[in-house]
Structure formats: structure tokens, C-alpha cells
Structure 1
Amino acid sequence: MTDGRHIVVLGAGYTGMFTAVRLAHRTRRTGVRITLVNPSGRFVERLRMHQVAAGQTLAEHRITELLAGTGVRFVEGTATAIDPGSRTVTVDGTTPLGYDTLVYALGSSTDTGRVPGAAEHAFTLNGVEAAGRFAARLTEVAAVGGTVTVCGAGLTGIEAATEIAEARPAVRVTLISPDEPGTTMGPRARAHLRRALDRLGITVVTGARVTKVLTDAVELADGRRVEGDACLWTTGVKAPVLAADAGIATDERGLIVVDGTLRSVSHPEIHAVGDAVAVRLAWGELHGSCQSGLPTAQYTADTVARLLRAKPVKPFRFGYYHQPVSLGRRDAVIQFTRADFTPRRQCLTGRAAAVYKELVSGSPLKTYRLSRYVNVTTVVSKGGRATRRPAV
């Protein structure tokens, strides 16, 4: 028995949900209490926000339904403060919630604060409501045959631009980025991506960064002005300030600094997962994605369970294995990668890739449901030799 220890998980995104459900299964019949805190009662499929932005309606998944049968208590509210000294979390300014172990899974969001006008005039994919507001504006733009500018040609920007162009053929889509789309892909995957952009009539503007967002245009550093009736901002991320404000050790981006077991270097009773954690492996640093986030959640659930039983813990290991990008509903490109995310020669394109991508996007929900009964392993690759040295 563990004397009724209380574990609080902050955030019910992909990583927080997986941590809570897996941990509940790993600690059943031990007396451990687990509480999951999240501002909304709806589970948000962040991998599908570009579909919402294009006007599609997704199935609604309630957090309580995903937790059914696990024994995890759900608290709907926003964590507004953490006091590591007293080991409490304040939710919506009410009575503090005490914890013995805290799992910080608050993730990140698109940063609109670094470029003038972005916060005031650009839309984001920061949740269902934000994506829904853009979808409503997109309907208006489509009615007059207008133009949408998508700022950022990372994976999110590419998926959003292609989804919009396919779903709304009356809308002219412009993708804006300092670099060419698909810079992290190999030549074959990059060529397929470019053909898809051309097929969908997407204008690609590269060579300069956006310096200002206006109501009807964006301005670039080289003096160019790109007109648009709506701007979707997909570049740059920011972390919540909750950890830094609490005096928990964070890096310059606000990510929690952890040891090789993903525990805070300043407060070992705090574990961090997903986009909230700065993890550096022998080959380099993890970047925020579901592909790396779920393994951190799986590892942390197992680690907390082992620590509760006073068992030894091995350092976290992970290596990337693919880069999946949807190009509308009927096309995609899957770039297979080495552990450090550099591209391999192999890639998958077209309809087969679209099926592959859909399986990837739908896998977290299946994992949560199965994890209520068995320990589902999500890590496909631990990175081989590249990760045999521990995280730093």
C-alpha cells in the first residue's frame, strides 16, 4: 500500500490524459488517489485542429467518458498557481488542491506576441473555439472568393493550408514562411509536398519573415506586402508561465528543466511531460509533438508507479521514426526519419500515406481506452545507439 498518496495531473491534452489513465491502471489496488485538472470538460484532438479550421465538425469526446472506470477524479478548472513549498495547486482561485506528486502536462500554444498585430488580427489553432472562429471567418471569405494567408510553413501550417484549399476551392490560399515548405524532409517527400501545394493552387511566399500583421495584409521584412482577408498564425510556440511563476526551474522558453527521469531538477516531486518539458538526449533536444509527447507520458506514468513501490528507474529514451503530414483528406506524405529527426530515404505518399496519417491521428483515443485495462506501449523506437546515453 502507498498510504493514500495523492497524484495531481495538470492538463488533459494528449500527454496528461495518457499519464492519468496509464497511471491509474499501474497503481490500481494501491490506495493511490489521482486527480486530473483541465479547464474544459472536452478532450481536444489537437492533431485535428486544421480540420476544424477548414469547417469540418469533429466528434466530441468528454474527458469523463475517457476516464470512466479508471477511478481518476476529474476537476474542471484552470490551475492558477502552484506552491511547491506546501505542495498545493490553486484551481480557479479556490481552495488549494494538495498533492504528493505533481505531473505538469500543460503543453504549449501558438505565440502571437512576438510580431506586432498578430495577437489582434490573426487567428490561431489554439483549441476548438479558436479554430471554430477561423472557420466562421473562412465561410465569409469563401463567399466573396477572398484570400487567406497562412503564416508558417511548418507541419501545422502545411496541414492547415492544404486542408483549407481542398475544402474551400473558392478561397485563394497563400502560405508564407522564411524557408521553403518541407525543409526537414528528404528530396522525394519534399517534391511530393510541392506538387500537392501546386495542385491545390496554393501560392507559396518565402524568403522573408513576417514583421507585422494588419487587418487586410501582412508585411514582410524585405518590404513586401501580402494581401489577405484573413490571417491564420501557425508559427512560434509559448509555454504557460505557471511553472516559472512558482519558482520551478525552467529554461528561457518557460519549459521545465528535468533530469534523465523527467523529474524537475529543482523539485523532484514534480514530473513534466509533453510540450511542457525541456528534454535533451544524446542526439539533441525533443521538439513538441504528439510523437514524442506520448512516450514521455507513458514513461512518466511507469516511473511514478515504480517510485511509489521504491523500485529503480531507468533514464528516458526516445528516437523519432517518422514525420507524418496530411495534405487534405485524400493525400499525405510520411517522411521516415532517424532518431534525431533527420530524414531517411524512405517516404510514403498519396492515398496510402493519407490512411497512415489517419491511423496516427486516431491512435491516442484508442490508446486511452485500451489503457484502462492493459498497459499499452506506444513507443515504436527508443532510438537505438543514438539514445543509449541518458537524457541530460
Structure 2
Amino acid sequence: MKKLIIVFVFLLLACSQENRENAKDEQPKVNDPADWIFLNGSYSWGEALNACPAGYHLPDKFEWENYIVRTADIPNYKYWTSSYHVGYMKEYSVAYVQDRKIYSEFAYDGRKSVACKKDEKIEAKSFLDKVAFTGTAYVSKNKTDCLKGRKYIGFEDNGLYLCENRTLKKVADSLEFLQDSVEFSADTVVLNLRRMLPCSFGMNGKKIMTGFNRYMYQCDDNNWHGLGYVKLNPVQLGDYKDSLTGVHFKTIIIDSMEWSSQNIYRSMPGEECYGNKKMHCENHGRLYGEKARDACPADWRLPRRSDWVTLFGRFGLNGAYLRSKDDWFLDFKENKDVGFTIYPAGYVDNGYKGFGMITGWWSYDDENRLYAILFDGEKFSHDYAVENKKFYIRCVRKRPEN
């Protein structure tokens, strides 16, 4: 009898330990915010699309970014997302978080973790245009897992598909826009796209503007709705005298910010004229190395990424309102320079390059890193590989009070 009691106690303790281990396995991987849940296990893409419980959805890129901003406990796992990619790699996006930054991979196969974001209540809105012409994600006809009632962009043909009974039914041909934009900021700018970006969950309520015709759209309930054409408010032109050099340069006041509408012409160690010709300095400003951050006059500074994004949001990314009407090698038929007047003045990279075709300026990104903004007459891009290169400078300051 005594032996039986000992065995019973041993089994009871063993079961208790096993239950504790199982309970531990069932705990979420992170401390979930109230509107997020993290599922145990790993999932294929098709399983992930349908894994979230009612009232939740697979989060997109923008929702992941907001999660990182407001959450201290960050998961270091790879998760399926309902994100997207415009370009040659149009595969399902896998988001993962490392060192409080979000990264993406693109893959059809494999098994990943699943996080679910709570649906937000969508208030009824009135739109001028009821036509819906984009979807929540790229999808391949060979991968027919999808969410009932959702629209998708076809991987093979960029057509618009509707999900019915977990199969895809084509409802519209592909839409062609001008060109792919290099960078996109929700609720500010604007696109020169071959295709509209998907109106995914994190984009709900956001507004974008197409750069080539300044038409405004708003994302609502996973569909883009037209709001009408945006009017271009007049800008104010000005003049500033550099107290150190006595040189005057032209400025342009855009909303609350004042920009130099000419490249800075200020002598500093290491600066130079394009082609080592003084006339290029006089016409287009000087080229500076990485000490450029010290070249702006007092009360002025190098532009930040947010300054450029605001500028793009005002005028679009196609450059017609910002580029000069002269000196470009390409014959741009549409030129509407408002006074920002970008000339294709080239840059330095183991020699003088790009005159007539491209130009670039020093700037700061959101983490205060120095990098270059480039413009080829049609679109803007950025470059972090700036070691031993030289670019021009546009300075910016908050609009002075009158």
C-alpha cells in the first residue's frame, strides 16, 4: 500500500510538471497589445490567410510599423503579412522584426508564424467615386488560397481578381500608370505607379495623390475611392543674403518651410566646381563632401527626409513642378517649374558624372544619418553609398514670422 501511495504521488507530480510545461508552451510569444494576438505554431500562406479569428486580420506593413512604434516587447520571429511589393518581386511578404526595425522577405513557400490585428470600426463615408480598382495583396493563380470577398492583384498579369469560394475570379484587366515610385509615405504623397498600391488594412483612411495628374484617392474598406483633383496653392518666392559670404540666393516658401531654390555657393575645404570650372559653381552651386552638414548659413540646415516627403506631397514625384525648363538632356514635354528650379548639374563619384542627366543633394534620414537625394528629371531616389562622393546642397528653415 505504501509503495502504491509513493507511485501515485510521483505520477501526480509528473503530470503537474507536464501541465506546467504545456501551459508554458501555450503562452503568447510576446506581451500582446489589446488589439493584437499571436498564434502558436507555424502556417503555410493559405493557412495564414484564414488563421485569424473573426474580427481579426493578417496585419499589413503599416500596421506592423505602428506596432513597433508603440510596443516595447518586440517579437523576433518571421510572420506572414498582407503586405505587398511593387516591382519584379511580387511574392507574398514575410515580415520579421529585429532591433526594433521591420524587414521583409518575399516567398511563396515555407511555414511562418501568424500575428492577428483586431479590425477597426469603419465609419460610413461619402465618396465622389465608388469604383474600386485595387486589392489587398498580390496573389498567384497557382496559389488560390484567398479571403472570401477580397480583391487581389494578379501576380502574372496584374489583373484584378475577386475571391469566391477560395478561388480567384477575374473582374478587371490590369491598370497601367506611369512608372514605379521609389519611395512611398502613407497619407502624404504620391505615386507615379504602373499599378496602384493595394488599399490594405493599415492604409484605411489614408489619402494619396497621383503625381502625374494630382488626382487624390482615399483608402476605405480595402478599396480606393476618387476624391477629385488637387489644386496647387501659389508659392512665395524670396531672397536671402548669406551674412558670412555676402552672397544672395533665391528662396521659395512652401507652406511653413522656406527652401533655397538654388544650390548653395559657399567656400569650404574640399568643395569643388563641376568639371573644375568656375562657371559651373556660379550657375549651379558647389559640390561638397560629407562635411556638407556645416555648409548651410546660420538658422538654416540640411533638409531631413520629412522635408522632402512634404515637398513631394505638395507637388508630386514626377518633377514637372520642380525641375528647370532648360539644360536637361531629355526633352521633357511638360515643364511647370514653380521656382524650385532643379538643374541636372551632376555629382562627383571617382570623377564628374551625370551632367545634363541627374543631380543630387545631401540630406538626413529619420535616424539623422547623412545620405543623398537624387533626381533624374522624372523621379527622386536616395543613396546611402556616399563615401568619397560629392553632392550639392539645398538648405531649409522654418518660415520666419512676419
Indicate the TM-score class for this superposition, using the shorter chain for normalisation: under 0.3
Higher helix share: 1
TM norm structure 2:
0.22
TM-score by length of 1: 0.22
Q: Which protein is bigger by CA-based radius of gyration? A: 2
